[in-house]
Amino acid sequence: MRVLFVSSEVYPLIKTGGLADVAGALPRALVELGHDVRILMPGYPQALEAATDKREVANLGVPLGAGETRLIEARTPDGGVPLLLIDCPAAYARGGGPYQDGAGHDWPDNPVRFGLLGWVAAVLSQPTTPLGWVPDILHGNDWQAGLAPAFLHAWGGPRPATVSTIHNIAYQGRFPADTVARLGLPWSMYTMEGLEFWGGLSFLKAALVYSDQITTVSPTYAREIQTPAFGCGLEGLLAHRAADVTGILNGADYGVWDPSSDPHLTQRYQPAAPEGKLANKLALQGELGLDRDGGAPLGIVVSRLNDMKGMDLLLAALPTLIGQGAQLAVVGTGDAHLEAEFQAAAQANPGRIAVRIGYDEGLAHRMQAGGDMLLMPSRAEPCGLTQIYAFRYGTLPVVHRTGGLADTVVDSTYDTLLAGTATGFVFEQPTASALRWCLERAVSLYRQPEQWRRIRLAAAAQDFAWRRSAERYRRLYAALLSAREGR
Residue pLDDT, tens place only, 49-89? 999 999 999 999 999 999 999 999 999 998 779 999 999 99
Residue pLDDT, tens place only, 172-220? 999 999 999 999 999 999 999 999 999 999 999 999 999 999 999 999 9
Judged against a pLDDT cut of 70, whether residue 487 lies above it is answered with no
CA gap 114, 98 in Å, rounded: 10
Q: What is the pTM of this model?
A: 0.93
CA gap 180, 187 in Å, rounded: 7
Residue pLDDT, tens place only, 31-59? 999 999 999 999 999 999 999 999 999 99
65 φ, ψ to 5°?
Answer: 70, 20
Across residues 304-330, what is the average pLDDT?
97
Residue pLDDT, tens place only, 402-432? 999 999 999 999 999 999 999 999 999 999 9
Q: Among candidates 355, 357, 317, 349, which has minimal Cα distance to 443? A: 317
Put the strands of the sheet holding 396-400 in their side by side order: 353-357, 327-332, 298-302, 373-376, 396-400, 425-427
Residue pLDDT, tens place only, 106-119? 999 999 999 999 99
Residue pLDDT, tens place only, 133-151? 999 999 999 999 999 999 9
Average pLDDT of the chain is: 96
Residues in the chain: 487
All domains of the chain in start order, with CATH: 2-251+466-486 (3.40.50.2000), 274-460 (3.40.50.2000)
Write the CA distances from 412 to 15, 439, 442, 454, integer angstroms.
33, 12, 9, 11
pLDDT, residue 436, reads 98
Across residues 458-486, what is the average pLDDT?
94
pLDDT, residue 80, reads 77
